[in-house]
Amino acid sequence: MPVRQRHAVVAGAGIGGLTAALALSRQGWKVTVCERADGPTAAGAGIVLAPNALRAFDAIGFDPAPEAARPTPTAMGLRRPGGRWLNRADPAALTARYGRTPLALHRSALTAALAAELPQGALRYGAAVTAVDEADGRAVVRTAAGDLTADVVIAADGIHSPLRRSRFPRHPGLRYSGETAWRTVLPAGTAPAGIEAAETWGRGQRFGTVPLADGALYAYATAVVPEGYRPADVRAELLRRFGTWHHPVPALLERIDPARVLRHDLYDLAAPLPRLHHGRIAWIGDAAHAMTPNLGQGGCQAVEDAVVLAHLLAGPDVPAALAAYTRARLARTDAIRVRARRAGRVAALGNPLAATARDLAFRALPARASLRALDDLFNGFTLPGRAG
């Protein structure tokens, strides 16, 4: 009698969901990715894949940028609004310590590369998951395009995860960080040449640049503002805040397309989930542990989640695998969530004396100590023993 092929339904076609689907597909699972959007979008921002995320992709045999011209050339340097460097990383030292150079990509390029590796028909747009019922050891997944039966459901349905709210109704949910962010990607050839990966800290606001592998430039800004702050004229608002900062910030602001600027208030989970699974559902990425972007680990942790979960699901016992997934991932991801929030508070200091003391501390920090502080992030990815 032939063995029935196991079926995984993934709610959400972001980086984490697509990585989980690809990893499971390569293990012989049937996968169906249900995405609420009507199709792929070119909108988005950049992402820096840190060494831990690159090692996770290595574990499933996926190259996130096989045709990329180059990795991002540096770790993030830190500057003052007048241009003075507070701290500047040595990319050779980073590569020597962690064995990998971070790779910066447009998010849409990464999701397109992941989607291209999935079996034909696995990705369904316009098929939001609306509910999950469980009976007789399987899950019935209700979607806008019809019902599906699955052995496991992977909730990669984002920071506002409806599946998280349905299974953990007493959880306090999201917490506003106090900052909003503007993000955009300038196409190759439209930004001044020679821009480095760097972040500039003022008082209560920041501006960052990251060269992407295809020659485009990812630019972002944050500011401490009331929740829901929505200036009508994006360019005028950014020029008001950053127009007198060092080169190339004003030049970049003049060249952005306001229609392609994303603006999001920054949130994280107010508390960890009690566990990362419930019945036959497992949560990954922002749905599991939404964190602020201050450490650049949100997408990287989603990749880790997906690869670890798929690795554990190679065993025959799905409930045991999901329990092992919680044990493997909950403590690490929550520690990073807390650390990211604390880092954001330091970066967003608005008091002049506190900001000056912060800047002096960063100037005095030895380069080796700066790198050592990243060890638990960049060296923290492991594949646990399989359950079941």
What is the per-residue pLDDT across 307-350, written as a single tens digit (0 to 9) for each? 999 999 999 999 999 999 999 999 999 999 999 999 999 999 99
pLDDT computed for residue 208 by the predictor: 97
How would residue 193 be classed by pLDDT, with cut points 50, 70 and 90? confident
| Cα separation, 75 vs 90, whole angstroms | 7
- 215 backbone φψ class: left, alpha, beta (φ>0; ψ -120 to 50): left
More confident residue, 240 or 386: 240
Whole-angstrom distance, CA of residue 195 vs CA of residue 191: 8
Confidence grade of residue 375 (pLDDT, cut at 50, 70, 90):
very high
pLDDT tens track for 74-95: 557 999 999 999 998 888 888 8
Sheet holding 205-211, edge to edge: 85-87, 77-79, 198-201, 205-211, 217-224, 174-186, 262-269
Query: Please, what is the angle between helix 51-59 and helix 298-312, to 10°?
Result: 30
CB 11 within 8 A of CB 20: no
User: Are 57 and 20 in contact, with CB atoms under 8 Å apart?
Assistant: no
As a whole number of angstroms, the distance between CA 143 and CA 119 comes to 20
CA distance 138 to 319: 11
Q: Is the peptide bond before 250 cis (omega within 30 degrees of 0)?
A: no
What percent of the chain has a predicted confidence (pLDDT) above 90?
84
Report the relative pairing of strands 77-79 and 85-87 from DSSP bridges.
Answer: antiparallel
Q: Are strands 277-278 and 281-283 parallel, antiparallel or unpaired?
A: antiparallel
Q: C-alpha distances in angstroms, 293 versus 88, 137, 326, 330, 347?
A: 20, 37, 23, 18, 12
Q: What is the total residue count of the chain?
A: 388
Six-digit token pair at 88? 């500047």
Q: Tell me the per-residue pLDDT of 93-131, one tens digit each, with 9 for 90 and over.
A: 888 999 988 999 999 999 999 999 999 999 999 999 999
Can you state the angle between helices 298-312 and 15-25, rounded to 10 degrees?
A: 20
Determine the pLDDT at residue 94: 87
8 Å CB contact between 25 and 145: no
- Helix, strand or coil, per DSSP, at residue 1: coil
**Angle made by CA atoms 230, 231, 233, in degrees to the nearest 5:** 135
Backbone angles phi, psi at 264, to 5 degrees: -140, 135
As a whole number of angstroms, the distance between CA 115 and CA 18 comes to 6
DSSP for 199-213, please give it.
EEE-SSEEEEEEE-T
For residues 13 and 36, give the distance between their C-alpha atoms in angstroms, rounded to a whole number: 8
CB atoms within 10 A of CB 97: 17
Banded pLDDT at 371 (limits 50, 70, 90): confident
pLDDT for 388? 52
pLDDT band at 68 (very low <50, low <70, confident <90, very high): low
- pLDDT of residue 3 exceeding 80, the answer is no
Each residue of 138-187: pLDDT tens digit?
Answer: 999 999 999 999 999 999 999 999 999 999 999 999 999 999 999 999 99
Q: What is the pLDDT of residue 92?
A: 84
How far, in Å, CA of 102 to CA of 111, rounded? 17
Nearest alpha carbon to residue 154 among 307, 330, 327: 307
Residue with tokens 């016992």: 317
For residue 1, the one-letter residue type is M
d(CA 386, CA 308): 10
